[in-house]
């Protein structure tokens, strides 16, 4: 039988991983966000930071000031007082151009989904996306909410040198790249929206975890005329 959630796992000598489930699920992620917000508003002694993921929150602490058992007790008390619902995140708009040369995998996603490329685009635009976590590379915001009709598994092997601004999907996840990187996800468009700004020291990332994202279709001319 699966243990009840949340589960608490010690991580080295300075963190506790609080797990709320084992799936990409909005209700599970709501619990991650609620604990993250609770820690931000009422941190315990020795709290350092919290790092949200799809179904867990890594709670980091100063081992000189506290320990794993105390952190677990503090987290449990916060969860007992947490509200039933979290506040909706800010709605962010991301522009995307789906022209064929900028979307080399669009045809293959269409074939795998039994749709036309235009129907894949329409499905992608209709998705209700949320920022679930950051990871892998600076500014890589992992979104969930890809409509089921266009959910395709990752490629068998990664492809090198995918350009920054590429709009990628894999399973229920979506991502807009910020750097030239290899990926095994499917590239279905290109976005000029700046998600990572290394010069903005106070706010280098466009999104906060929990924000909602809406994709907006733009023309090639609009893409090429967008500021760098």
Question: Does 108 share its domain with 208?
Answer: yes
Question: Does 66 share its domain with 108?
Answer: no
Q: Which residues pair with 8 in a beta bridge?
A: 18
- Number of structural domains (the chain) is 2
Question: Does 113 share its domain with 70?
Answer: no
Question: Does 20 share its domain with 105?
Answer: no
Tell me the three state secondary structure of residue 171: coil
pLDDT of residue 136: 84
Cα of 129 vs its chain's centroid, Å: 9
**pLDDT class of 214 with cuts at 50, 70, 90:** very high
Question: Does 35 share its domain with 102?
Answer: no
| Domain final position from 22, 50, 81 | 81
| Burial bucket for residue 171 (CB in 10 Å: 0-12, 13-18, 19+) | middle
Those residues with Cβ within 8 angstroms of residue 70's Cβ, 6 or more apart along the chain or in another chain? 44
**pLDDT class of 121 with cuts at 50, 70, 90:** very high
193 in any annotated domain: yes
Question: Does 118 share its domain with 45?
Answer: no
Lowest mean pLDDT among 29-33, 121-125, 137-141, 144-148: 137-141
Question: Does 121 share its domain with 68?
Answer: no
Question: Does 177 share its domain with 104?
Answer: yes
Lowest mean pLDDT among 43-57, 59-73, 112-126, 188-202: 188-202
Question: Does 27 share its domain with 138?
Answer: no
Whether 124 contacts 158, CB under 8 Å: no
Total Cβ atoms within 10 A of residue 37: 17
**pLDDT class of 228 with cuts at 50, 70, 90:** low
- Domain containing 152 equals 91-225
86 in any annotated domain: no
Q: Residues 40-60: what's their mean pLDDT?
A: 96
pLDDT of residue 191: 97
Total Cβ atoms within 10 A of residue 156: 6
**pLDDT class of 2 with cuts at 50, 70, 90:** very low
97 in any annotated domain: yes
Model pTM greater than 0.85?
yes
Q: Residues 132-152: what's their mean pLDDT?
A: 94
Cα angle: 93, vertex 170, 156; to 5 degrees: 150
Question: Does 70 share its domain with 98?
Answer: no
pLDDT in tens, 67-98: 999 999 999 999 998 887 888 889 999 999 99
Distance (Å, rounded) from C-alpha 88 to C-alpha 25?
15
Question: Does 53 share its domain with 144?
Answer: no
**pLDDT class of 1 with cuts at 50, 70, 90:** very low
């Amino acid at each position: 039988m699966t243990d009840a959630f949340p589960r608490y796992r010690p991580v080295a000598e300075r963190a506790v991983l609080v797990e709320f489930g084992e799936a990409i699920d909005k209700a599970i992620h709501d619990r991650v966000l609620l604990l993250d917000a609770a820690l931000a508003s009422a941190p315990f002694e020795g709290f350092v930071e919290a790092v949200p993921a799809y179904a867990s929150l890594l709670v980091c602490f100063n081992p000189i000031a506290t320990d794993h058992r105390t952190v677990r007790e503090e987290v449990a008390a916060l969860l007992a007082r947490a509200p039933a619902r979290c506040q909706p995140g800010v709605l962010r708009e991301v522009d995307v151009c789906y022209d064929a040369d900028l979307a080399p995998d669009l045809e293959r996603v269409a074939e795998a989904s039994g749709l036309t490329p235009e129907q894949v685009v329409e499905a992608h635009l209709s998705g209700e996306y949320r920022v679930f976590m950051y990871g892998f590379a600076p500014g890589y915001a992992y979104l969930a909410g890809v409509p089921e009709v266009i959910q395709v598994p990752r490629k068998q092997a990664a492809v090198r040198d995918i350009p920054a601004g590429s709009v990628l999907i894999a399973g229920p996840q979506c991502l807009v790249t910020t750097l030239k990187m290899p990926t095994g996800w499917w590239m279905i468009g290109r976005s000029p929206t700046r998600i990572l700004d290394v010069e903005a020291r106070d706010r280098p990332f466009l999104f906060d975890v929990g924000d909602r994202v809406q994709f907006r279709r733009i023309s090639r001319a609009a893409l090429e005329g967008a500021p760098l």
